[in-house]
Amino acid sequence: MFNKTLIAIAATLALGSAHAAAPEKPECIAPAKPGGGFDLTCKLVQGGLQNGKFIDAPMRVTYMPGGIGAVAYNTVIAQRPDEGGTIVAFSGGSLLNLAIGKFGRYSVDDVKWLGSAGADYGAIIVRADSPFTNLKELMAAIKADPSKVVFGAGGSVGSQDWMKSALVAKAAGIDFKTMRYVAFEGGGEAMTALQGGHVQVYSGDASEVAAQMKGGRIRVLGVLAADRLPGELSGVATAKEQGYDVEWPIIRGYYMGPKVSDADYKWWVATFDKMLASPEFAKLRETQGLFPLDLTGAKLDAYVKERVKHYAELAKEFGMVAQ
């Protein structure tokens, strides 16, 4: 009896440590096509985990476009709920879509919120050869003739990227319903459309534009942050500086399926805590134009649920009806 008990305990310990070990085939799902914010978010954690040797096997990045995150959200919950090696990228836009019911029957409570990668901020972007050099010139053109200024971004009317431009327009006294807006699947497609001249303005994210700024291909008219951002964007005025009291902070992070084991989830949370505290990750985050926002486990869960509540209130203000 004594021996049997020892064997049972040893087997349980072995099983527990196996579940709590680093995943053999780690995967990050980017809920859009390559390019843009979701891709950036997955590449960031891929580099952070591998460079810091927090995982043994290489992490692969896979793409699951559709509904600005809705397809990935529904797929992970319904078809891949217990995959202990799979994490999915999300952004503030994902939380906005959750708030207004665009993810279908699932809610903010239906996944396990894992950890953040950092914070980003909204930005209003044009081509380098655009006639607009600041937000006031852009707003004046829209007031003069809304039909001649076409905005493009990832997501349809009501999405995070649409909300950025609508908030600036509202602050300028413009009826946001008169604005022309073209929806794309993700930031990568929207940036391509901007550079191809198919749209005149892209309401995107600050982290996505550093490389294009270095190449002289785009101009940022304003960032939606409380203060000027460092690095490549240090010379760009905030919307507030230009007379428009608008801020749009963007969290970038990751979630897991609802049936992932507690042991696997705790391993990921502990690993994220180590990764976020490492100087190697701080350097990676900086190169991607992100700013520190270290939230994991219960702290991220509380933050996400507070944001979803805030976005729901904002959606009501703009007359968006939950689906």
Cα distances (Å, whole numbers) of residue 132 to 5, 139, 188, 218, 297: 76, 9, 22, 11, 43
Distance CA 99, CA 310 (A): 8
Do the domain assignments include residue 254?
Answer: yes
CA distance 125 to 286: 20
Higher pLDDT, 248 or 215: 248
Domain closes at, from 248, 265, 285: 248
Report the CATH number at residue 196.
3.40.190.10
Query: Do both 206 and 107 map to the same domain?
Result: no
pLDDT at 307 over 70: yes
The answer to whether residue 14 scores a pLDDT higher than 50 is no
Identify the domain containing residue 109 by its residue range: 24-120+250-317
pLDDT in tens, 231-258: 788 899 999 999 999 999 889 999 999 9
Asked whether residue 66 falls in the same domain as residue 108, the answer is yes
Confidence of residue 12 (pLDDT cuts 50, 70, 90): very low
The pLDDT, as a whole number, for residue 321 is 58
Residues 225 and 239 both lie in one domain: yes
181 and 243 fall within a common domain: yes
pLDDT at 32: 92
Of the residues 217, 248, 279, the one at which a domain ends:
248
Any idea what the Cα angle at residue 143 is, between residues 139 and 144, rounded to 5°?
Answer: 115
Encoded tokens for 165:
């431009």
Calculate what percentage of the chain has a pLDDT beyond 70: 93
Number of domains in the chain: 2
Tell me what pLDDT residue 20 has.
67
| End residue of a domain, out of 248, 277, 308 | 248
Q: Is there a single domain that holds both residue 100 and residue 200?
A: no
- Determine, yes or no, domain membership for 323: no
Predicted confidence (pLDDT) at residue 309 exceeds the cutoff of 90: yes
Measured between alpha carbons, how far apart are the two ends of the chain, in Å?
60
CB-count burial class (<10 Å; 0-12, 13-18, 19+) for 195: middle
CATH of the domain at 46: 3.40.190.150
- The band of 23, judged by pLDDT with boundaries at 50, 70 and 90, is very high
Is the same domain home to 204 and 133? yes
Instruction: Examine residue 322 and state whether it is found in any structural domain, yes or no.
Output: no
The pLDDT score that the predictor gives to residue 314 is 85
Q: Is the pTM of this model over 0.75?
A: no
Which pLDDT score is estimated for 18?
42
Question: Do residue 135 and residue 190 come from a single domain?
Answer: yes
Q: How do residues 64-95 score in pLDDT, each as one tens digit?
A: 999 889 999 999 999 999 999 999 999 988 99
Q: Is residue 213 part of a domain?
A: yes
Same domain? For 237 and 190 the reply is yes
Asked if 20 and 263 touch (Cβ cutoff 8 Å), the reply is yes
The verdict on 191 and 106 lying in the same domain is: no
Q: Are residues 61 and 162 in the same domain?
A: no
In a domain, residue 242? The reply is yes
Residues 109 and 151 in one domain: no
Q: Is the pLDDT of residue 11 over 50?
A: no
- 212 or 277, greater pLDDT: 277
Residue 187 has pLDDT above 60, yes or no: yes
The pLDDT, as a whole number, for residue 92 is 87
Spatial CA neighbour of 164 closest among 195, 131, 140, 187: 187
Is 9 domain-assigned?
no
